[in-house]
Amino acid sequence: MCGRFAITLPPDAMVQMFDATPANDLPDVPNYNVCPTNSIFTVVSGDGVRHLGPMRWGFIPHWYKKPNDGPLLINARAETVAEKPAFRAACRERRCLIPASGFYEWTKDDEDNRLPWYITREDGSPLVFAGVWQDWERDGEAFTTCAIVTTEASGPMTEIHHRMPVTVRPDDWGLWLGEEGKGAAVLMKQAPADGFEFHRVDRKVNSNRAKGPDLIEPID
- Predicted TM-score of the model (pTM): 0.96
The alpha helices in 58-207, defined as continuous H runs, are 88-93, 173-176
Alpha-carbon span 24 to 169, nearest angstrom: 27
Is pLDDT at 193 greater than 70 in this prediction? no
Instruction: Please answer whether residues 130 and 167 qualify as being in contact, where contact means their C-beta atoms are separated by less than 8 angstroms.
Output: yes
Quick one: DSSP state of residue 211?
A: -
Residues 190/196/199/202 CA torsion (nearest 10 deg): -70
Catalytic residue from among 91, 96, 105, 146: 105
- Banded pLDDT at 58 (limits 50, 70, 90): very high
Stretch 104-132: mean pLDDT = 94
List the catalytic residue out of 2, 91, 96, 146. Answer: 2
Are the C-beta atoms of residues 106 and 117 closer than 8 Å to each other? yes
Cβ 132 vs Cβ 76: under 8 Å: yes
91 is catalytic: no
2 is catalytic: yes
